[in-house]
Homo-oligomer: A and B are copies of this chain.
Amino acid sequence: MNEHQQRLTDYLAAFIDELSSNGVDEAVISPGSRSTPLALLLTHHPRIKTYVNVDERSAAFFALGIAKAKRKPVILVCTSGTAAANYYPAVIEARYAKVPLLVLTADRPHELREVGAPQAIDQLDLYGRHVKWAVDMALPESGQEVLRYARSAAVRGLGMSIGEPHGPVHFNFPLREPLIPDLRGDLFEEGTAKRVYQGERTLALDQGEELEKVLNERNRGIIICGPGMSPDGIQAVADFGRAKGFPILADPLSNMRSGKHGTDGIIDAYDTFLKAGTIGEHMKPDLIIRFGAMAVSKPLMLFLKGLEDVPQLVITRGEEWQDPTGRGTHYVYAHERHFCDRFTREAKQRDWIEKWIRLNEKTKDLMQEVIGEWGEGKAVKCLLETIPEQSSVFVSNSMPIRDVDTFFFSNDRSISIHANRGANGIDGVVSTALGMSTQSPSTYLLIGDLAFFHDMNGLLVGRKYGLDLTVIVMNNNGGGIFSYLPQAKEGAYFEELFGTPMDLEFSHAAAMYGADYSLVKTESDFLQALRQAEGTKGLKIIEVLADRQKNVENHRKMWEFVSREIHGGERS
């Protein structure tokens, strides 16, 4: 082994060993030349599972999916050039969805930067403000100081990625040829590693009093839980709500609608009853407590906007500013559990919460009455009621997440719902779901045709690694959500710019990626296809033909019916 190879090997092995010793155990690699030593060392590592994913955009979302499911950082590796730029959408999603990613990009050494060398771009600060930390690593050198530096950088970046809010970190590695490390010998000496302990925020000793006053003076509070709750936060908030007698309006992505934490007092039909019309003065809250990110529901957002003079506490684990309505009054940066433990006090009366529960139940009864016809909504409801215990459902943006918000009713099973709600893109959805599927016994992806098209490349890794995923493509041949927006009235240009029919037959994609495929047009076909998928390994694509116009009409009919019935009931 020559000196160059020794330096290269020791330096990168130390870096990787440090990550591995701190529990990082999965890496997603895209093929390339400059990244060769990183790719070889990771693949050679006995305790790191590696995936190879050719399309870097898909690769990054795939890693994001694994990291979301594991709640642990995942390594990404690619070569120099635009390869690294293909990570950008997933890096941004990771930032806003608070998912830890360790992005390792190979780069040309300094003498080949910005001189017109092939496949060399300016990779410093490539992801701008969208990573929590970006470091241009030193060139591989020998000596203990440099190895210590490599280990420090690794553990430091890792620590930052899991500090609240979690997020992506970028390591840029300039590397000189030749690029082959020496894989003989004992490269990974677990045990010598540094450790980082990420403490969590709690309220300081002098911070409780004012908040206590706000909370204790009010009996008509509502709790809103959005995406991104921590697992122990879920139990703490459920207990807190029950004790205080405050209803919990739980977004499907809060993962409070399903689970063993107890779902009494969980309000899950608010999107419909808030949309259906103003709720009476007697249900106006005098306090709002929000956990997590903003909920998906637009009616809820508008309801909050209308509550101008009501104190609104926004509790986030890190320094996120989660206040799109601008109605926040008290911003608390502390773990949900610490907040709840501090302020839980048994309420004396249950009238307030009972009102919410009654309206919620009535709404759901009415929805059952009117949902009859087969369509997107019905399909989503079917899916959510049919899938086995412990399933993960990954939901695409645009229409699917709204349908799930409407039709996923609380239960004591353990169904978890996930989506890319950091930046709400329709990109990378297939790959994120596949990433999650690696960590779950049963994973479903609910997705529209545009989002499915956008990341069809993601399917390759599904076939390659025999991943189990059932994809339900709601094919309404275009952008369904626009039919709900004012654009729908722009007759002349609507189909061209917003409807955007693609006229694709996804059976071809299924054939290319070796997926089981079925096309369904009725409820019984759909149930049959779901049953078959449950018993089958690998990729399964169920294409549900849907009609954009009819879907809008079905939704409108439901809102109108609920509105009429509830308002009728209120008057009587």
Residues on A close to B: CB < 8 A?
29, 31, 33, 36, 39-40, 43-44, 52, 54-57, 81-83, 85-86, 88-89, 91-93, 95-96, 111-112, 114-122, 125-126, 128-130, 178-180, 293-294, 296, 320-324, 326, 421, 423-425, 427-428, 450, 453-454, 456-457, 460, 479, 481-482, 485-487, 489-490, 493, 496-498, 500, 502, 504-505, 508-509, 511-512
Contacts and interface: CB of A to CB of B under 8 A. Distances in A.
Given A93-B82, A497-B39, A112 B324 contact: yes
Contacts of A96: 121
A505 B512 contact: yes
Contacts of A120: 324, 423
Nearest to A428: B82
Contact of A115 (B93, B128, B324, B460): B324
Nearest to A31: B500
Given A54-B450, A115-B326, 10 more contacts: A40-B497, A43-B496, A52-B496, A52-B497, A55-B454, A82-B89, A82-B427, A116-B320, A179-B487, A508-B512
A439 to B, nearest CB: 22
Contacts of A125: 128-129
A498 B31 contact: yes
B512 A116 contact: no
A323 B114 CA distance: 9
A155 B370 CA distance: 56
A77 to B, nearest CB: 10
Contacts of A498: 31, 36
A490 B293 CA distance: 47
Contacts of A454: 54-55, 457
18 contacts: A31-B479, A33-B485, A54-B453, A57-B57, A82-B89, A95-B121, A111-B326, A112-B324, A115-B326, A116-B324, A118-B324, A119-B424, A122-B129, A456-B456, A457-B457, A504-B512, A508-B509, A509-B512
B457 A456 contact: yes
Nearest to A42: B497
A448 to B, nearest CB: 11
Contacts of A321: 114-116
Contacts of A500: 31, 52, 54
Copies of this protein in the assembly total: 2
Contact of A486 (B95, B178, B489): B178
A498 to B, nearest CB: 6
From A85, A120, A121, A487, name the one whose CB has the most chain B CB atoms within 10 angstroms: A85
B180 A486 contact: yes
Contacts of A427: 55-56, 82-83, 86
B121 A423 contact: yes
Contacts of A497: 29, 31, 36, 39-40, 43, 52
A86 B57 contact: yes
B82 A92 contact: yes
Contacts of A93: 82
Contacts of A114: 321
A120 to B, nearest CB: 8
A428 B57 CA distance: 12
Given A121-B423, A427-B86, A116 B323 contact: yes
Nearest to A35: B497
Contact of A128 (B57, B128, B320, B323): B128
Most buried by B among A44, A322, A424: A424
Contact of A460 (B118, B294, B453): B453
Nearest to A129: B122
Contacts of A493: 39-40, 43-44
A81 B479 contact: no
A173 B24 CA distance: 40
A225 to B, nearest CB: 14
Contacts of A504: 460, 512
B508 A36 contact: no
The 9 closest A-B pairs by CB, nearest first: A82-B425, A508-B512, A117-B324, A116-B322, A82-B89, A119-B424, A85-B88, A85-B89, A88-B88
A237 B336 CA distance: 70
- Name the residue in A88, A129, A178, A479 with the highest tally of chain B Cβ atoms < 10 Å from its Cβ: A88
A117 B320 CA distance: 12
- Residue with the greatest number of chain B CB neighbours at <10 A, chosen from A117, A179, A323: A117
A544 B205 CA distance: 72
A294 B130 CA distance: 33
A118 B424 contact: yes
A456 B525 CA distance: 31
Nearest to A504: B512
A314 to B, nearest CB: 9
A356 to B, nearest CB: 24
A271 B201 CA distance: 62
A482 B125 CA distance: 29
Nearest to A421: B118
Nearest to A91: B85
A400 to B, nearest CB: 15
A423 to B, nearest CB: 5
A302 to B, nearest CB: 12
A201 B92 CA distance: 40
A12 to B, nearest CB: 15
Contacts of A83: 425, 427
